[in-house]
Structure 1
Amino acid sequence: MVDTARIELNVEGKDLARRCVILRAYAEGIAEEAVEASLRRLPDYDRPYDPRYAEVMRQVTFWVIDHFLALMADPSLSSEDLLRFWYDLGAGEAREGRSLVPLSESLRIGAGVAVRRLTEEADLLGMDTTARTMAQIADALFVYHNHLMASAAEGHAKASSGDRSRFELGRRRLVDLLVSGAAGPDEIARLARPLGWPVPGKVAAVALDRVPDRGFPPDILTGYHLADGPCLIVPDPEGPGRRALLTELLAGRTCAVGIQVDPAETAKSLRWSRRALSLAAGRVLPGDGPVFAADHLALLMLMQDPDLVEHAIERRLKPLLDVRESIRLPLAETLNACFELRFNATEVGRRMHLHPQTIRYRIRNLEALFGEQLEDPSCHLELHMLLTLWLTRQRTESAAG
């Protein structure tokens, strides 16, 4: 059984806590709508011959939503009973020969309904429904989802230990197929079907520096056996709340999340994630927690040939690298902002919290250093990319001490 009785949602603000106390009054109606949506979209749970089953689903869903809102209001609240129930629920699914994917999908559907309904009810009550506030609730819901599914996965694994080797072998073969680069949609579907893994529209590969010491939700495939290093295959990586979930799941480890692709192109995502992981290990990219390759596309393209990049930095940024160290970084940051804000001294000054006259003085110094290069727009893209890489390295090295 999971060894924690608490779920940390990491939300901020007393106002949000007070709102969640009020919104608990709507939990029953939200649960009813969430169950109806799950029954429509998940055939495994549609059992018209057993009305008691739907009633149990409503009770459980109400418990989950009500407990979530109570936890948002009081972070010290124990979740022991709920986590134990989900452990037993996972074990029950295993004993009936089912995977945990439908259960996880049901939670995700319920979370989507909950976010929408909570937004509607809060709006009707005149509460704050800004994007930032609702994003906090959505992110917290997906973290909550992960804790429940982790508990269910533990119970499922314990109850299905006799069949586990065959099940895990099937998942390993599916990973091998996905990362082979030669998988067609039909073949992927054929292998995924008996494993209860619904083929998603998009996936991303996560490159890991080592095999993790914790489990993951059942919809995430693990590739710990791969010769080039362990990885995960994550469905729907850019869906609502998924980035926050991945950040929470992968916190504290050096890893990189690849760009999302069609399942048949998983090998491409894995190649990009491994490249990003290599750059994080070399301190070119920040390595504290997951690195998302989609946030660093220019640097990934630029670093395809590191030796050539080093030569380009030494050659193109030489005027800047030759100035004394005390003014090198301020000039570099100013030039970078100038490229992004079209050399508008007022806008650059606003971003850097400096007087525009200070920016104009620095621009004159930069023009003296780089000469015609700053007057030629065709040089700006190359200089900007190299400068971005150089600044990223400086900040990463500075953060590392």
Structure 2
Amino acid sequence: MITVELPDQASVAWDDWETPLRQFTEATGLVTSVYDTAGVRRIGPLTGSRMAKLLAERSSLWAEDGPGTALERRLVHTVHAQGTSAATQYGEAFRVCAQPLLLRGAVYGVLLFGWRFADFGSPLACERIAKQIGLPGHLLWNEARLDAPVSEKRMATYAALLGTLSSTLDRQRETIDDLTRVNRTRELFLATVSHEMRTPLSALSMRIELMLRTIPDLPARAVSGLEAMRLHVRQETAMVDDLIDAARTLTGQMSIDRAPVGLGQVLRDAISTVETHAHAKHIPIQVSPGDDGDRIRLEADGRRLQQVFWNLLFNAVKFTPAHGIIRIAVRPLDGAVEIDIADSGQGIEAEDLPHVFGAFRLQQHDNATGLGLGLYIARRIVELHGGTLSVTSPGRGQGTTFVVRLPTAPA
């Protein structure tokens, strides 16, 4: 047996029905209302004809304890219990119909419509109805004789239109519900990945370090194996961190903590993390001007910006052949600063340039490793700072230039 979780009545966006129902009411002249499953009227009665307005303003028909309200609540109970449409008649004249509002097959509300004569009324019938609802008979007859009746066939057409309208809105509600559930799943994923994957990797990394530092006279092959394991653990940890950052970006949960920071220090910290790899390939990293941008102050998250520049520099080293060169140029602008990171590496084909910052995009040539999330995350971090990250390349084998533009702090 499949159970369907009914939405909390307080959480249902009843106002979503207001505009489409009002438009329907004005177009058809019917009276419409929406009830929840407890029999509470959430919308209406909405009136679209002179006679309906008279009944709403001058009679007790739809008062809280009025006969029309009591009839509608009986219909709500019937529709809720049976899960199907229902109809009834008030007195000798008014036809009232009801349709269920469904979410994943379960009734969460009832749509009432009608309150129009099925045939031409008579003074006597209007007199009897008016007496029940505290309205002078002649007033009701004056409006009823000018109000065109709604035949069974026309009422069926209106019912079909409302059925289409309600199914469309309910499908939208289901879609929103699905998106909410997906977002909750993503949040659970983030929490699970953070704990279940980071924790064992941290423990493994610590044990490898302990073995390398505390066990004397390890054979050279053992040391080599442990150092290779340490490298692989660091790579796995970096990929887990990228997955978490990407998930936070997709769900809008990535944030930055702004504080006064010097651009020069951020750049030096980023360069220090890739210098070993650059030296191993005999790739110098040149910075101009010589102060690394120490005079430029930012209101920024220094750790996140370091992550951006480390990523760009790591890629530059990774895709630049031995004895190449990487140049960093800092250019102060009016209220902003641009940082160019240019390499003499393999470059990017013109058709690949528009896709460089996409998630899970890998270089299609040499050294295509990792998850392809670094540049995607880097651009998002820069955008959170109110800046931009762009890329240019003359083509294959002609190097690549990434340009980071950031707002500077007021003097």
Return the TM-score normalized by structure 1: 0.21
Higher CA-based Rg: 2
Return the TM-score normalized by structure 2: 0.21
